Amino acid sequence: MPSVAVKLYSVFFKLLLRRRLQSRLQSLSSDQSPSATSFGVSSRPEESTAPPNPSFASDGVATKDIHIDPLTSLSIRIFLPDPSRLSASTPPVRRNSFPSHPHPVAPSPPSDPNNRRASFDVTAAYTGYLPTSDPRKRVGSRRLPVIIQFHGGAFVMGSSESAANDLFCRRIAKLCEAIVIAVGYRLAPESRYPAAFDDGFKVINWIAKQANLAGFGKSVGSMDPFGASMVEPWLAAHADPSRCVLLGVSCGANIADYVARKLVKSRNLIDPVRVVAQVLMYPFFIGTAPTQSELKLANSYFYDKQMCILAWKLFLPENEFSLDHPAANPLVPDRGPPLKCMPPTLTVVAEHDWMKDRAIAYSEALRKVNVDAPVLEYKDTVHEFATLDILLKTPQAQACAEDVAIWVKKYISTRGHELSY
């Protein structure tokens, strides 16, 4: 069973969440302007955030925030692990990866010949330069896979820059040795379905655009100042978009699964991005017909069933509300595309989560059509046990992140699986 501290925190969490959900529901008014609704919000002022830190000084991960859509509040936070601290072997650059620097690269500071690690200043803001001038030690040119992360929060709260999400993404970036792009999608009820889902796919298109811009810069040899300003230097220097993984947390898992399905339908439109796997951590799935876990654990810790239904009412348009909506129930008929076309899918569930049975059923459906879809269930855990602020430093949270990294590396290793979906 969860500890006494977790049980007590759960009581206060549910009280606060219920108050916020009811407040959001009551605040909906017809005088909200269309422009405000379309722009939306991607964070809440009452939630604690972690400022971006574009240096490797603190824990070996640099971060930056980018507002990628001028018409909406959609933003991302990039987490780049220090290239000089990653494993020494440099895998070959894969086909369809970002080309080498399409813009001038700042000269590297002199390196110590007796020290194999790069000798640049980790306290300075990282801009995309190579950490060493010696080509034989150019670990900074290593291409890293990209993990696209969607945070939780029942569609109505949370953000890519929250303190808890920042810590979780840093952990994943280091364990997977990958660039993590945390998506700050638009929240409900200001922006209802399909806004958050569309934002997920917009990020995929933005990554593809970045790769193509960098490729154009390399092909012509130089770019005008405007074109160069459009290129994201961290991605141009280090990202390999042919090895992308979707990682969704709670309601973010619903977004990740939607993006994966849409990518299967649109694979020729997003070259060179290739999604090779997805991770669904305690998905926010629900349905009209209750499962055994829903009957047994409906009043479970942190997110009980009634509050989740209220969150769905805030997220789905009034004329579309249904617990069997395709965004809510992954097993409704004719959801498309065929499950056999889906990428390998790791599902993480918690023992005391009422939503776990539907997530397990979805994983079983994928396995029936020969998709690699294992399930990891953790004992004595609750919904968001590996990502909630109070639980992030527990042994279960650390073990979960390590297990996810082990599985993900099967598909992002340049010496492992080469197929993409």
- Checking 112-115 for CB contacts under 8 A at 24+ apart, the result is none
E strands, 168-311, are 179-184, 239-249, 275-281
Known active-site residue 257:
no
Of 6, 262, 275, the C-alpha closest to 145 is 275
Gap between the Cα atoms of 58 and 38, Å rounded: 37
Gap between the Cα atoms of 332 and 294, Å rounded: 17
Of 160, 250, 300, 420, catalytic? 250
Which residue blocks in 129-194 are alpha helix, DSSP H? 163-176
Neighbours of 290 (CB within 10 A): 16
Asked whether the bond before 52 is cis by omega within 30 degrees of 0, the reply is: no
With a CB cutoff of 8 Å and minimum separation 6, the contacts of 46 are none
Known active-site residue 383:
yes
Of 73, 97, 383, 420, catalytic? 383
Tokens linked to 186: 């638009």
Of 192, 153, 162, the C-alpha closest to 303 is 153
Gap between the Cα atoms of 406 and 408, Å rounded: 6
- Checking 224-229 for CB contacts under 8 A at 24+ apart, the result is 228/102, 228/103
Gap between the Cα atoms of 79 and 54, Å rounded: 9
Gap between the Cα atoms of 242 and 271, Å rounded: 9
With a CB cutoff of 8 Å and minimum separation 6, the contacts of 34 are none
Of 353, 357, 363, 420, catalytic? 353
E strands, 193-274, are 239-249
Catalytically annotated residues: 250, 353, 383
